[in-house]
Structure 1
Amino acid sequence: MSTAVEDLPRGARLGVDVGKARIGLAGSDPDGLVATPVETVPRVLEVPAGTAGAPAVTADVARIAQEVSERLAAVVYVGLPRHLSGSEGAATADAREFAGRLAAAVAPVEVRLVDERMTTVSAHAQLRQAGRKTKKHRSVVDQAAAVIILQSALDAERAARERAGELVEVREAGR
């Protein structure tokens, strides 16, 4: 038996850490074994309306969609920042909104929300242990957080033999 998740279709996975200013992006191999950093994408905060009242595809969503296409990704995992208690706040709503726009842009590729509590804290700690000054490397922190999000999802896939997290439903225009 290999270490790949045999019950799931092969294909790279992407991990996304949605922040206020930047979005960290991580990718995996086609077997979903190891997460590695990809890049940091500048966040677009103003989302203009597109056709039929649906949000327009912003540059950040378009860049991630391009990566999904180039890597033939099977699924995209977006970090869902909950409070330590598990409750949801403004950052959670922002991540859900972003994931919804991303899901519409990459359909039929699944976008799934996964718990990301403490990923940024963990990323800072890992970079400090590696001797990096995180204040000077904010974009690296975003990528490191995306790697943690993705690796956690990959580990959950292997353990459960199914996709991790909550599926983001693609909403039709006007709904």
Structure 2
Amino acid sequence: MNCQAQKPNIPQISHILGIDYGKAKVGLALADSETRIAFVYTTLPNDKNFLDNLVKIIEKESVGKIIIGIPTHVNHGEVLYEGEKLGARIAKVLPEISIEYQNEMFSTKMAQANMVEKGMKNVGKFDDGESAKIILQSWLDKPYSI
């Protein structure tokens, strides 16, 4: 009889990362494909170490899909948004990760309103993660998202 302990066959849950990309700070939110509920993860400084730090989080949290917020304007064909540029940078480093884009219109205003409603102070310092959560939850709420 073989008495070696066997590892349980537990399926790995894939996480989805939401990103609110800003010039100074980048808000991150996470959700999993089962619960479909987004939560604030963290805010990273948008500095020279940003992409390395982001990749570490993606690997640590077993992220399988990334949703990046971009503004939706009529003249989108004429401009490549910063969020799309970020998506291209991530795709070069992690080509196996699926990247999609979500309309981020009013996400910052909604985030600030949510935070004020919860009684938080200095919402401008902390709204990036909440904005990422709103972007990700908007994507998750679409019937065809996953």
Choose the corresponding residue for 2:114, options 123, 126, 140: 126
Cα shift at 1:106: 2.2
Tell me if 1:112 matches 2:85.
Answer: no
In the TM superposition, what is the alpha-carbon distance from 1:74 to its structure 2 partner? 1.4
Give 5+ residue unaligned stretches, structure 1. 1-8, 45-57, 164-175
Q: How far apart are residue 89 of structure 1 and its match?
A: 9.3
Find the counterpart in structure 2 of residue 11 from structure 1: 14
Q: Does 1:74 align with 2:64?
A: yes
Quick one: which amino acid aligns to residue 74 of structure 1? Answer: G
Provide TM-score, normalisation by structure 2: 0.81
Structure 1 residues 87 and 10: CA distance shift in structure 2, 3 A: farther
Larger radius of gyration between Structure 1 and Structure 2? 2
Structure 1 segments of 4 or more deviating over 6 A? none
| CA distance 1:128–1:91, change in 2 (3 Å) | farther
Q: Is the 8 A contact 2:107 2:135 kept in 1?
A: yes
How much does 1:155 deviate? 1.3
- Between the two proteins, what is the percent identity of the paired residues? 25
**Matched length:** 135
> Which whole-Å CA distance do the structure 2 matches of 1:21 and 1:111 have between them?
22
Map of 1:26 onto structure 2: 29
Rounded Cα–Cα distance in structure 2 between residues aligned with 1:115 and 1:10 = 26
* 1:138 is aligned to 2:124: yes
Q: CA deviation at 1:82?
A: 2.4
Distance 1:31 1:96, change over 3 A: same
Distance 2:79 2:107 in 1: 14
CA contact (8 A) 1:11 1:32 kept: no
Q: TM-score, normalised by structure 1?
A: 0.69
SS in structure 2 opposite 1:101?
helix
The 1-side partners of 2:114 and 2:107 are apart by 10
How has the CA–CA distance of structure 1 residues 122 and 71 changed in structure 2, closer, same or farther, with 3 Å as cutoff? Answer: same
Matched, 1:99 2:87: yes
Shift of 1:28: 1.0
- Residue in 2 aligned with 1:61? 51
